Amino acid sequence: MEEIEKHCKSFYIRANRCSSIYNDTFALKGWKTEEINGIEFELNSILVEKWKGKAYRLVIQRQKRMDGVQDFWEGEYTYRCILTNDYDSSVREIVEFYNLRGGKERIFDDMNNGFGWDRLPKSFMAENTVFLLLTALIRNFYKAIIQRLDVKKFGLNATSRIKAFVFRFISVPAKWIRTSRRYVLNIYTCNNAYADVFQTDFG
């Protein structure tokens, strides 16, 4: 925790189950019922001292089990905890802020699988900086292009990965042919959507 605080002003970390705080959690009073993204939760927070006498805030989020089956440890609720040094924000604000990570994780998943971040070209991060920046720019350009094109005509959608875009939009066999005293790009596909993009004839 000390190392984390050296590099950030505020942190929000998902806390795993810990038997030592079960009793404190179950004894809590004053749970606040909040609806977040259409789901009803009960929220609360406590201070925990496990790191050289320094107390951090543990925001606790619980939800009634939908299946009605009671867990051996947690009973009728499912508990999730967030450890933070943010003592000022409300429990709802902390939960909503933490939940924003989902969108960022999807971006990293896209970069890993579509733009090569899972296999960096160099061993040291300092040497990979240019690669990371360039691929991030390429992703931004790709997102701008795919938002401006009517990609549904090509069997794509706004969330399609770049591999699908390359396969369906770029890797298409074509040949310049001369006909009627002019050159025409003859694209070998049965999808007439390419005619609107390239303004050409089909073979």
162-171, Cβ contacts within 8 angstroms, sequence gap of 24 or more: 162/114, 162/115, 163/114
Using the 8-state DSSP alphabet, how is residue 169 labeled?
A: I
Average pLDDT on 65-81 reads: 73
Using the 8-state DSSP alphabet, how is residue 30 labeled?
A: -
Which pLDDT band, with edges at 50, 70 and 90, does 68 fall under? Answer: low
Strand partners, 174: 187
Residue 202 has pLDDT above 50, yes or no: no
Which residue has 């749970």 as its token pair?
31
- Percent pLDDT > 70 in the chain is 88
CA 46 centroid distance within chain: 29
Domain ranges of the chain: 2-90, 103-146
In angstroms, the Cα distances linking 65 to 17, 27, 70, 78, 111 are 17, 19, 8, 6, 35
List the structure tokens of 26.
Answer: 């179950």
pLDDT digits (tens, 9 = 90+) for 153-169: 878 887 788 888 888 77
pTM, two decimals, is 0.55
List the structure tokens of 19.
Answer: 């038997």
Q: What is the pLDDT of residue 127?
A: 82
